Amino acid sequence: MTRDADETVSLTVLHGDDRTELSVEPGASLRQVLIDANLSPYAPATRRLNCGGRGLCATCGVRIRDECPPDHWHDRLAARFGYPRLSCQVTVEEPMTVELVEKVVWGSRERSDEGA
């Protein structure tokens, strides 16, 4: 699929009870898009204490509500065990919906109904 130079991708960000719709340039880092829109993926303590988007600290986690295959080692583990995905390791290529997770430092694991 070929895109026009001025084409954008829609990104829906769910944060608390709010919903923000953004138009994003394809290929943009999800972490940077969120920061630029004042929708920080970080907890208050990690806004200043993080790895700067290098995929090392695991503090910029978000839930991606659409199919977005993981290609970073941490995201493959997160997908397997139900943890948030690292926004610094996600490139926005297609329309997507993401949810900012409530966290103290790191995102919490999604609970499954298995074994309940």
CATH code, domain carrying 36: 3.10.20.30
Domain that holds residue 47: 9-100
CB contact burial 81-99 (16+ within 10 A = b; e otherwise): eebbbbbbbbebeeebbbb
Q: Classify residue 86: in a domain, yes or no.
A: yes
Q: Classify residue 1: in a domain, yes or no.
A: no
Q: Classify residue 16: in a domain, yes or no.
A: yes
Residues contacting residue 12 through CB under 8 Å, at least 6 positions apart: 19, 20, 21, 22, 95, 96, 97, 98
pLDDT value, residue 116: 47
How many domains, the chain? 1
Q: What is the rounded CA–CA span in Å between residue 42 and residue 58? A: 10
Closest CA to 96 of 36, 45, 28: 28
pLDDT value, residue 93: 92
- Count H helices and E strands in the chain, helices first: 2, 7
Q: Classify residue 105: in a domain, yes or no.
A: no
Taking 90 as the threshold, does the pLDDT of residue 75 lie above it?
no
pLDDT tens, position by position, 21-53: 999 999 999 999 999 999 999 887 787 788 888
User: What's this model's pTM, rounded to 2 decimal places?
Assistant: 0.76
Q: Classify residue 95: in a domain, yes or no.
A: yes
pLDDT tens, position by position, 79-109: 778 788 889 989 999 999 999 987 655 555 5
Q: Classify residue 4: in a domain, yes or no.
A: no
For the segment 39-68, the average pLDDT, to the nearest whole number, is 83
